[in-house]
Structure formats: C-alpha cells, structure tokens
Structure 1
Amino acid sequence: MKRVWNLFLMPISIIVVPSKKKKFFKRVFPLWGLILLGVFSLAIMVGAISLTYYKLHQSEKELVFWQNKYQQDVASLKNTLVQLKQTEQKLRSLLKLGSKEEIIKQAEFKDLPSSSGAVEIEDIKQEIEKRIRSISSLKVYLKRQKSIYLATPLGWPTSGYISSSFGWRIHPITGLKDFHHGVDIAASIGTPVKSTANGIVVYTGRTKGNGNFVIIEHGCGYSTLYAHLKKYIVKEGQEVKRGDVIGYIGSTGLSTGSHLHYEVWKNKKRINPLPYIKEKINFAQG
C-alpha cells in the first residue's frame, strides 16, 4: 500500500522545448495531479460531446415539429381554398348566361398544382386572397341583381284578360283619340289586385279619371299604378312585397266596366307594361 502511495506522490517532470533556439522550461507535477488533470479533461470532453448531442437532438425535434406544422398549415390552407372554390361555384350557378361576363372573366382561376410537396404556403395564400376578392365581387353583383329583380314589376297584377293595350286608341267614353299610358285588364268586380314587385305605397286616393287608385314605388327607377279599384286595402308608407293584395277590381272613375288600369313607370316615364307582364326580363341589363 505504501508503495502505491509513493507511486502517486512520485514527481513527474514535463519539459517544453521550443522549436526555435529559445530557452526551454521545465515543470514538475506529482503523478496524482496529472491523473486528476486527465480525468478532469476527459470529463469536460464527455460533457461537451453530450451537450453537442443534446443540442443536435433538440434541433432535430424542432425540425420535425416545424415540418409537421408546415404540413398542417398547407393542409388547412388547401381545405380553405377548396371551400372558397365551392362557394364561388355556388355563386356562379346563380348567374344567368350572358350576365356580367366581365366579372366572371375576372374571377376565372387556375387549379393548384398537384400535391407533390412543392406547394408553397404563400402561393396558396395568394390564391385564397384572389378567391375571396372574386367571391366578394360576385356577392355584390348578385345582391344588386336581387335588388333589381325584386324591384322590377313582373307578372300579372290580377287575373283576367287585356281589353285595351298601351298606345294610341279611341277613348271609350270621350270618343277622342288619346294615348293610353297603361293596359286595361278586364275582370269581375272584387277580383284581387296584387303588387307586381316589392316596394312602398307612396299614394292612395281617388280622382275623377282614375277612380280609386294606388301608386307603389319599387326602387331601381320603377313605379306602378293601379286604378279604377273598387277599394284599396293598403295605406301610404306601407311596405309591400310582390304578390301582396293591395285592393280589388272595380269600375270607379272614367270606366265603362269592371277592369284594372295598370301602368309601369321607369325613371319617371310611363312605358308599355305588356313585356313586364308576359315576358321574362333580362335583369342583368337592370
């Protein structure tokens, strides 16, 4: 045991000789000191290697995390884009052929490239933004088209047959040539009269010529007049919708029999109601 201890205490000389002709120097260390220094150095080396490995492991985990997140973001954005495309197609299906072609052309899009891992999030985001702008334009247009449709006089205001058309005629009472600004629809007294578009009643009253009559303002430049009523059941300021009953057929005013005198106004000018009664209107022309 004493020999082992003496061995640990045995001095070890370390001589450093420079490569050039300079004075060398010498250091003396006990063996145990050199062993301790070696163990300490080894511990530092092992610690450094372990730390490097740990950092590499953490970096790998982070890389895997961000790769997964990227894939999830791409999948989410693709799903959003698919939904937007479906919404856009539904909006397009509401459009008539030949209506607002410019918007439709501007809203055209290319399909995304196949899912090969090369799709960039930024590209998908740009495609989504373009789709949103397209959908927004279509919604604005469709909303406008709906407003025009609801405001356009459409269909028969009452059941019956046309006894006098729009245009020049011989007045049945005065016998003079005059311009008939509407159409007369002959029907039995008491037959319901309906509004031909959504709007607001702006006048109800009676005159010598029109008898009991109602005027409805529909918007988009349209108004309608319903005259010779037996009675009306709406009041000024009342909101009505297409198909709502506003009164009943009569023979009041200058009339030779029970009928409805019906007028359509567009931008303050009386126009022929017949196309609006019988024909399908191209609302895109508004």
Structure 2
Amino acid sequence: MTHKRKYRKFIQVLIVPDDNDEPKALSIPATRVRFFKILAVFLAVHILLGFVGYSQFIRVYKKNRALIDINKQLETNNKRIYDLASMFQQLVESQAKVRTALGLGQLTVEGTTVEQSLSTPNIVPEILPALEAARTNYQLVETDVKEKLGFLQRAKSGIHDFERSIPTLLPVEGILTTDYQISRLDGRTEHRGIDIAAQRGTYIKAAADGTVIFSGWTPDLGNLIIINHGYGFVTYYGHNERNIARRNDIVRKGDNIALLGNTGHSSAPHLHFEIWKNGQPLDPKEYILAFDGL
C-alpha cells in the first residue's frame, strides 16, 4: 500500500539588514499565517463594533443632555410664568383695594375681571391670555394705582396734619383759676380764655403743631406768644416769665415755648391761654383733652 507523503507549507520572509550582514530568511508555517489573519479580522471586527457602539453612545448621550437642558429650560419658564402670575395678582389685588376704597368698580379685561381669570383651577394655561391682555393695559393700571395710592397718602397725610394742628394738649399742668366767660347781656367776651395757676418758671408747651407768628411784649398779657396752627386755629400764651420760642419758629405739639410767669396785668404767676378759630374765640375746655369729663 502506497502512502502519500504530506508536505507542510511555509512562507519565507527575507530579512535584509542595513549593514553588510547577510540576509536572513524566516520561515513561517502557512497555518500560523492563516491563524494571524483570522485573529486580525476578529480584532478588526470587534474594533469596528466598538467604534459603532461608542458612536451610538455619544449620540444618545448628546440627545439625553439636550433633553435635560430642554427640561431645565421648561422648568425655568414655568417658574417665570408662576412668578409673573403672582406679581400680577399682587398688582391686581392692590389696584382692587384702591378702587374699592374709592368706590370705583372692578377693572375688567375683555369683559372679565382679572380676579376671575386668576381664580381658574389650571392657572398656567388660563393666566397667559390674561397676562397678554393685561400687558397692553399695564400702563393704565399702574398709573391708576399710583394716582389712587398717591391720593390716599395725601389724604392720610392731610388727616395727620389736621390732627396735629388741633390744639388739644394742655399747655401747663396746674389749677384752673379763671374760666372762659361770655356776657349774657350783649354776647361780648369778657374773658376770652382760661387762666391756669402754676409755679413760676414751669415750662409752657405748644398745644399743637404750628408757626410762631408773635413773640414779644404786650401791656395787658406781658410776654406773649401767638402760634398759628393752620386750618383757622390760633393760640395765645400770656403773662410768661420768658419767651423761648421766637417769631417764625416752627413748633411741634408738646415743645417748650415759654416759662410761666407773672408779667403784664397779672396778680400771681399763671398762664393765660386762648384758642381762636377763624377769628372767633373758643372755650379751650372744649378742645383740651385733659378737660374731658370734667
């Protein structure tokens, strides 16, 4: 029986050095070369698959980041809408209070009050039309609110000034010795004010805010101070030992303006105090709070 002899195939690789050495031949079995080819193809396929997978990962990552950014922007816009709605609601409530205080009707936007627009259950979708409509009317609303608030502030300030200008403070603590008196026969005033006895040198206080229009000497009332309080009110402080306030001084209710004395036609230290309104003398006891209930 004849056996066929098998021959192994080799691949010759000739290595030629740069120097004068002799070339060298390297024999590599063909089977091993095929193995390296298969290995190279396998590695190339895996590298390609890895690159494709990495590219897909990068695209997905970028899309995910974009979605995150969009979500953050939506959250920011949503918060701005709610903040704007809250600010607008505060403005509307303030304006409504002013209009109610002045007896005016509610402000409407396209036939609907803004308060009704703000009271809908789904505030974000429903508030946008109201906000858009209110934007065109904002200047009118703001001007209206400022005017009404300014009016109320001026009115409040005027009430406060009027209250401070009414002579209600007792100028000096002491004993009432002579009352306000009017003759029953002809209606003429016999004693236009009240006399309050106290220790010489006691401070005399302004009965209300005002401006000193006279500070000097008179034969009858001696050292005299006259204060104009506005709104028709004028007060007199006579028989002073010494005047502290000077003409054109602005005084506040309770300020020290003089020292109690016994100057002019006077028999003992006391304050002669008068209140006039629109040129007519008044009974000080009707205005001085210390006399309430007496």
TM-score w.r.t. length of structure 1: 0.58
Q: Is the 8 Å Cα contact of residues 221 and 267 (structure 1) preserved in structure 2? A: yes
Partner in structure 2 of residue 72 of structure 1: 80
Note the 1:143-154 alignment, pairs <5 A. Answer: 143-154=157-168
User: Which of 242, 260, 269 lines up with 2:271 in the alignment?
Assistant: 260
AA matched with 1:197: A
CA distance in 2, matches of 1:112, 1:139: 25
CA distance in 2, matches of 1:256, 1:230: 13
Q: CA RMSD in A?
A: 3.8
AA matched with 1:237: N
Q: Does 1:106 align with 2:103?
A: yes
CA gap 1:242/1:103 in 2 versus in 1, 3 angstroms: farther
CA distance in 1, matches of 2:95, 2:100: 16
CA distance in 2, matches of 1:68, 1:204: 69
Q: Is the 8 Å Cα contact of residues 94 and 145 (structure 2) preserved in structure 1? A: no
CA gap 1:139/1:253 in 2 versus in 1, 3 angstroms: same
Partner in structure 1 of residue 227 of structure 2: 216
- 1:238-275 deviations in whole A, cap 9, x for unaligned? 22111111111112122222111111121222222112
Q: Is the 8 Å Cα contact of residues 196 and 271 (structure 2) preserved in structure 1? A: yes
Equivalences, count: 200
User: Which of 284, 290, 294 lines up with 1:273 in the alignment?
Assistant: 284
AA matched with 1:255: S
AA matched with 1:259: H
Q: Does 1:162 align with 2:170?
A: no
- 1:218-257 deviations in whole A, cap 9, x for unaligned? 2222211100111111211222111111111112122222
CA distance in 1, matches of 2:226, 2:245: 10
CA distance in 1, matches of 2:200, 2:105: 55
Partner in structure 1 of residue 146 of structure 2: 132
- 1:104-138 deviations in whole A, cap 9, x for unaligned? 34268688231533340235846655543432221
Partner in structure 1 of residue 33 of structure 2: none
The one of the two structures with greater contact order (alpha-carbon pairs below 8 A, sep at least 6) is 1
Note the 1:21-36 alignment, pairs <5 A. Answer: none
Partner-residue secondary structure (3-state), 1:139: helix
- Report percent identity of matched pairs: 25
Q: Is the 8 Å Cα contact of residues 183 and 262 (structure 1) preserved in structure 2? A: yes
- 1:16-70 deviations in whole A, cap 9, x for unaligned? xxxxxxxxxxxxxxxxxxxxxxxxxxxxxxxxxxxxxxxxxxxxx9xx99x949x
CA distance in 2, matches of 1:129, 1:214: 46
Q: Is the 8 Å Cα contact of residues 208 and 254 (structure 2) preserved in structure 1? A: yes
User: Which of 171, 174, 179 lines up with 2:190 in the alignment?
Assistant: 179
CA gap 1:278/1:105 in 2 versus in 1, 3 angstroms: same
Q: Is the 8 Å Cα contact of residues 194 and 246 (structure 1) preserved in structure 2? A: yes
Give the superposition deviation at 1:79.
2.0
Of structures 1 and 2, the larger Rg is shown by: 2
Q: Is the 8 Å Cα contact of residues 107 and 134 (structure 1) preserved in structure 2? A: no
Partner in structure 2 of residue 37 of structure 1: none
CA gap 1:278/1:150 in 2 versus in 1, 3 angstroms: closer
Partner-residue secondary structure (3-state), 1:112: helix
Give the superposition deviation at 1:83.
6.5
Partner in structure 1 of residue 21 of structure 2: none
Unaligned runs of 5+ in 1: 1-60, 93-101, 171-176, 282-286
Partner-residue secondary structure (3-state), 2:167: coil
